[in-house]
Structure 1
Amino acid sequence: MSGLSLICDYGESDGSEENENDDLETFKSVGFRTKLPAPDLSKVSVIKTEEHIDNPDQHGGKIRSFSHVRGNWATFVFIKYPDLESLNIITENFANQIESIGLECKKCDDFHISLSKTFVLKYHLIAPLTESLQEVFNTCDSFELGFHSIAIYCNEEETRTFVALKADIYSSRGLLMITQKIDNILVEYKLPQFYDDPSFHMSILYVNGNKKNELTKILERLNGVFVKYEKNIGSVIINKIECKSGNKYFQYYLQ
């Protein structure tokens, strides 16, 4: 039965051909619309939207700053510390001091200095942004990185407290110039810039939760350990900057 015939059936009263023709003429003249029955969707398959559930227990208590959304790529620019071997002894001594006051600490997954905040980047913007970074870093010179003290930091979510090596004043000047160049690019994409008064540092140990007060109480002891092993750390030449966007890594070599 055609759709038109179905509409006409709803208007039948006695089944006569004459009435059927009259109903058809009425439909044509006034544009009468008959409500059709609702379709049966019980057998139509439904594809559920994939939902990502973050489990902090799978990554040492770390909590995302923003929800995981397909198509959004968490991105940040950083310097990866090149001399990990020199940090092993001092890191173990820091851990002993922290555990002596009843706190459990863990070594950071990697040793790096952030040059940007972590920001969300759409996939189609990854290529143009990273190419812009390449152009900027091509004009930057390699520089010497050193540290001068220990500092305690707590993340904005207050889920982790970090023990970090703080960059010395000369290194901080070079790092500041680089972050300003990065910020100039991020502004073009309407992305968040770095902190107004950045404190450049490299986190090496962390404690879950906000334990800044407890760790600040032993800060003098931690700095004593730093002074003892400062010569072992020394300074290193930084000739490479990296960018991580989701599971993609980009490396940029300085002059």
Structure 2
Amino acid sequence: MSLVVYSSSDSDHDEDKSENKNDRVRLFPDERGNWALSIYAFVEYSSHLDTMIDDIIEIFNNENEIWKRLVEFHISLSKTFPIRFHHIESIRKLEYSSHLDTMIDDIIEIFNNENEIWKRLVEFHISLSKTFPIRFHHIESIRKCIQNELSVSMIKFYTRIENVRILTNEDGSTSFLVFNLDQHRQFSKLVEIIDKILDEHRYPKYYENPCFHVSFAYSTVKNREEKLPKDWQDKCQSVFKQYQCQPSAMSIIIDDIRLKAGKRTYQLTKSS
């Protein structure tokens, strides 16, 4: 058993709001003696997948920039007013250096980065349980039971990214960009093992008919659907096609199952 320092996309639910850097909302109230527990497959991703994620997030954020750059610049010395064509004289546009050009981009980025609709998550995982409150003295029993069962039943496998979807958490406060995954049967076997042990300890099972996925970006902006580019699905598929020749971009190994309780993370299966 290994204790891992880890911050998942769900970890913010364990923090007090004043410490929540992502401005995400807790799904259940903080209560003394309760720990937030979740079980998941840790995702170790390749540099190709890392780059592909940036490309996909860019599809969504580029369409939603708050500040748009002007193509040409000028210094006004008069009002804009109607004039007859034959009275018009030529106007010289403002010429600027490449350094000013770069500086302008940097300044615009200051404003747009603060207002991005979608923010990238730091680490990725595939949920195999709900996140729920648990009494501290139950954690070790659940950890041991799941670890013992997985040591016998767990066989590593690969899952492949199928498409991009947008999912929302239970209270509708946060939306996620996610990769849908194949190997549903293999994931379901893991959930069966975990559900059985959680049920024995009188804790909630996972969702019925779950969608196994990897969240890679989130948004807390309201009316997110209205801000989506209309052709986002086509654009995502175009990105996928660019990376089809890189198996490590589209495939994820599943061999590292972890249990997170509060700020502590336990490695239940060893990565090979």
TM-score range, shorter chain: 0.7 to 0.9
8 A Cα contact 2:120 2:216, kept in partner: yes
C-alpha change, 1:231 and 1:71, in structure 2 (3 Å) is: farther
Q: Does 1:184 align with 2:200?
A: no
8 A Cα contact 2:167 2:178, kept in partner: yes
CA RMSD after TM alignment: 2.3
Distance 1:91 1:56 in 2: 29
C-alpha change, 1:77 and 1:64, in structure 2 (3 Å) is: same
Distance 1:177 1:212 in 2: 34
**Which of these residues, 76, 91, 94, is aligned with residue 53 of structure 2?**
91
8 A Cα contact 1:56 1:62, kept in partner: no
Q: Secondary structure at 1:138's aligned position in 2? A: helix
C-alpha change, 1:159 and 1:54, in structure 2 (3 Å) is: same
TM-fit CA distance, 1:57: 7.5
8 A Cα contact 1:107 1:204, kept in partner: yes
Q: Does 1:174 align with 2:136?
A: no
Distance 1:56 1:65 in 2: 15
C-alpha change, 1:238 and 1:159, in structure 2 (3 Å) is: same
Structure 1 counterpart of 2:59, one-letter code = Q
8 A Cα contact 2:158 2:254, kept in partner: yes
Q: Does 1:250 align with 2:266?
A: yes
**Which of these residues, 122, 126, 133, is aligned with residue 146 of structure 2?**
133
TM-fit CA distance, 1:167: 0.4
**Which of these residues, 161, 168, 172, is aligned with residue 147 of structure 1?**
161
Aligned to 1:71: 33
Structure 1 counterpart of 2:49, one-letter code = L
**Which of these residues, 194, 207, 210, is aligned with residue 206 of structure 2?**
194
User: Could you state the TM-score of these two structures normalised by the residue count of structure 2?
Assistant: 0.68
TM-fit CA distance, 1:246: 0.7
Distance 1:145 1:241 in 2: 14
8 A Cα contact 1:61 1:159, kept in partner: no
TM-fit CA distance, 1:127: 0.8
Aligned to 1:240: 256
Q: Which has the larger radius of gyration?
A: 1
C-alpha change, 1:184 and 1:68, in structure 2 (3 Å) is: same
TM-fit CA distance, 1:247: 1.8
User: Could you state the TM-score of these two structures normalised by the residue count of structure 1?
Assistant: 0.72
Q: How many residues align?
A: 202
Distance 1:194 1:247 in 2: 21
- Structure 2, unaligned stretches of length 5 or more? 1-13, 65-115
How do 1:51-130 residues align onto structure 2 when only pairs under 5 Å count? 54-55=16-17, 58-102=20-64, 104-130=117-143
TM-fit CA distance, 1:129: 0.7
Distance 2:211 2:226 in 1: 19
- Structure 1, unaligned stretches of length 5 or more? 1-51
Greater relative CO (CA pairs within 8 A, separation 6+): 2
Distance 1:173 1:215 in 2: 32
Distance 1:176 1:135 in 2: 18
Structure 2 counterpart of 1:76, one-letter code = S
Structure 2 counterpart of 1:252, one-letter code = L
C-alpha change, 1:53 and 1:173, in structure 2 (3 Å) is: closer
C-alpha change, 1:231 and 1:134, in structure 2 (3 Å) is: same
Between 172-181 and 223-232, the greater mean CA deviation after superposition: 223-232
Q: Secondary structure at 1:68's aligned position in 2? A: coil
8 A Cα contact 2:35 2:133, kept in partner: yes
Q: Does 1:165 align with 2:182?
A: no
C-alpha change, 1:84 and 1:184, in structure 2 (3 Å) is: same
